[in-house]
Structure 1
């Protein structure tokens, strides 16, 4: 066991609440409605994982909540501040005003994912899909303008239609693509302690999902290397919903279903956080063995949790609407028995917190 102190017992404030860090080799589901303290508490758990284990972490961060994970609060003890300063934490930003920027290589995507980005169906758009399948898109030869010019001048109607589709959708104009420069997957391959992907600043709605797809596809392609990684996905309903709303979302959901079903034996472990369990694809949710539950008022959502996480006493789940802000129920593989916890204080600076309403001057 690797004991991680994440707060105190809700019914006994003088007793520490401990979970087992070694049991994050299972998929984890973390949920709580807006205002429950879900993101703050998630940060507490991640901090304790960083201090108590050597497990590398990659964070998909759509709200910039973890971009300051390397910065300790002013009131943190010097020894803890020194320990965090020694951690290799790298943050990549989707906003063009911040460095380093988050880039990925379009050519690194599988053909199926490139087709999803271009809204191509392998049957309905069979000729354009086939043209995409047989293009040379090697990273050492890829140039955006030359690529489109070559398609237009190819004399092949299918390639010309493909070029017009890519141009009309402005796919290659996305700031996400690096075009020969380095990709965030190169950093993930180095396995620093933490890689934070701040994906919330992209202008196109599919860019955060395409960035996630680049990383997850790469990890799955190299799964046989068996290099452990905890994949934290905040606002996970935007990455694996029950009913995908776009071709990119459908491809990403399919990849996450595969990791959820088979990733454990390769060291790819999910840590999913969202406000409502019913917004997560059931084939992903059903693979989770750890549960962190904060205040939840929706009977439908509580019924879903009771159905999926049968190891949690129903009476404890029914108490969820009465949880105070910062209280959480921990149950599953990482807790010997279900326990209600008052989550402890953050050690690092929280990003993306609510803005205050100021009084009139």
Structure 2
């Protein structure tokens, strides 16, 4: 009775708060609702971790469906496997978008049709270098210098007689056409100049050949079409404002972005770029006009990585998340790290999370990472991480009055992440799989 009274007191205390977020029922007393303080949960970053099949997606869905009920909720959910982009995960306050696939590139009004392009002109100098430059090339310094100079020239041409004339830098997100840059780089690579004894090779002769080849490959690679195959629509100066409204407008609620068809080798750069744009816009907003936004990072171990071995693309993407983890709170940007392998998630980012929802973790390395991040006075509550039932979690942090063991309520909107019943399907009377459809999609690189 005393325990029941205690749990009910905790429950009612949190429910009386300004921003109660219901997560489930306490394991100790299933009649008491387990609330978290929604403000505190998002203010100082959070992590939702759990092995595959532990109920992690249900937990995310449970939180998202409550966020979506708020009038001006504002969040981006990076959906890596397309599990939150299905018809079962739709509802008022949730909008679903996808990164453009090769079959989307020729369509008009992409933003109005929930298709996102990520134009190359959004890349800053560092990101362009990571994507296009081979640092092992002895001519890399010359390539970087001339390329950035030509990019700035093209950007400046597009802002002549505008309020931005003569004040932009190579990092300014100004639309420009990359093809004239490539033409200029080819000219310099084959340029002959007059010398004392007739014509001789120019100062950059042969030094841009490999760089030009890489740039040409990017421009012709349909997998990268969402970045390099731009139409007139994406080259308009007003496009960035439309794009920002799509990503960050509080009237649009939760924006689920299907990243499942983005090539894995550039996934960290693309997500890092989106995160950087969100953070930068918040940073440059006047504080009284700033509307807070949360970034829900599904499968975060794929792009907020702990160990990056000579991968400049992944490294540059990680920088955005490290900066948001350290400074995002000041500008109204919250991170929610969602991962089945916390041991592979960047420690700098995880250490900034002040709230943890840990479902069952079977791997000892993952358990140890979470235990090290939890307060020392938790006793043996963290020792139960491998014993938790499906959809059962340990919640720790300043969003809850006490560390609690909770059974998460089943969400009304469901992601397509249910565990497949192998034995039952193998015992069915007929096979549902359509291999020719799968092969066709694989060749087209689009479902």
Same fold (TM over 0.5): yes
Deviation of 1:116 (Å): 0.9
2:94 and 2:89 map into 1 onto residues whose CA distance is 12
- In structure 2, relative to structure 1, the CA distance for the partners of 1:163 and 1:49 (3 Å cut) is same
Q: Residue in 2 aligned with 1:12?
A: 29
SS at match of 1:17: strand
Q: Residue in 2 aligned with 1:231?
A: 295
- In structure 2, relative to structure 1, the CA distance for the partners of 1:146 and 1:130 (3 Å cut) is closer
1:185 and 1:49 map into 2 onto residues whose CA distance is 20
1:242 counterpart (299, 306, 310): 306
1:131 and 1:304 map into 2 onto residues whose CA distance is 45
- In structure 2, relative to structure 1, the CA distance for the partners of 1:350 and 1:96 (3 Å cut) is farther
SS at match of 1:215: helix
1:132 counterpart (147, 163, 166): 147
- In structure 2, relative to structure 1, the CA distance for the partners of 1:211 and 1:312 (3 Å cut) is farther
302-311 vs 2-11, greater mean Cα deviation: 302-311
- RMSD (Å), alpha carbons: 2.7
312-321 vs 157-166, greater mean Cα deviation: 157-166
State whether residues 268 and 318 of structure 2, in contact with CA within 8 Å, keep that contact through their aligned partners in structure 1.
no
Q: Residue in 1 aligned with 2:320?
A: 255
SS at match of 1:51: coil
Deviations 1:208-250 (A, max 9, x none): 2232122122123221314311001000011111112421110
Deviation of 1:62 (Å): 0.4
Q: Residue in 1 aligned with 2:408?
A: 343
Q: Residue in 1 aligned with 2:258?
A: 198
Instruction: Give me the TM-score of the superposition, normalised by structure 2.
Output: 0.71
Deviation of 1:33 (Å): 0.7
State whether residues 396 and 403 of structure 2, in contact with CA within 8 Å, keep that contact through their aligned partners in structure 1.
yes
State whether residues 102 and 176 of structure 1, in contact with CA within 8 Å, keep that contact through their aligned partners in structure 2.
yes
Q: Residue in 2 aligned with 1:212?
A: 271
Deviation of 1:260 (Å): 0.6
Q: Residue in 2 aligned with 1:114?
A: 128
State whether residues 3 and 20 of structure 1, in contact with CA within 8 Å, keep that contact through their aligned partners in structure 2.
yes
SS at match of 1:205: coil
- In structure 2, relative to structure 1, the CA distance for the partners of 1:265 and 1:346 (3 Å cut) is same
170-179 vs 55-64, greater mean Cα deviation: 170-179
Unpaired runs of at least 5, structure 1: 73-83
Please show how residues 86-97 of structure 1 align to structure 2 within 5 Å. Answer: 87=93, 89-96=95-102
1:221 and 1:140 map into 2 onto residues whose CA distance is 15
2:378 and 2:71 map into 1 onto residues whose CA distance is 29
State whether residues 233 and 270 of structure 1, in contact with CA within 8 Å, keep that contact through their aligned partners in structure 2.
yes
Q: Which has the higher helix share?
A: 2
26-35 vs 141-150, greater mean Cα deviation: 141-150
Please show how residues 316-335 of structure 1 align to structure 2 within 5 Å. Answer: 316-335=381-400
313-322 vs 51-60, greater mean Cα deviation: 51-60
- In structure 2, relative to structure 1, the CA distance for the partners of 1:336 and 1:212 (3 Å cut) is same
1:324 and 1:70 map into 2 onto residues whose CA distance is 24
Deviation of 1:258 (Å): 1.1
Please show how residues 37-116 of structure 1 align to structure 2 within 5 Å. Answer: 37-52=55-70, 54-68=72-86, 71=89, 84-85=91-92, 87=93, 89-96=95-102, 100-116=114-130
Deviation of 1:70 (Å): 8.0
Q: Residue in 1 aligned with 2:3?
A: none
SS at match of 1:292: strand
Q: Residue in 2 aligned with 1:166?
A: 215
Rg bigger for which structure?
Answer: 2
Equivalences, count: 348
State whether residues 6 and 48 of structure 1, in contact with CA within 8 Å, keep that contact through their aligned partners in structure 2.
no
2:389 and 2:118 map into 1 onto residues whose CA distance is 41
State whether residues 68 and 348 of structure 1, in contact with CA within 8 Å, keep that contact through their aligned partners in structure 2.
no
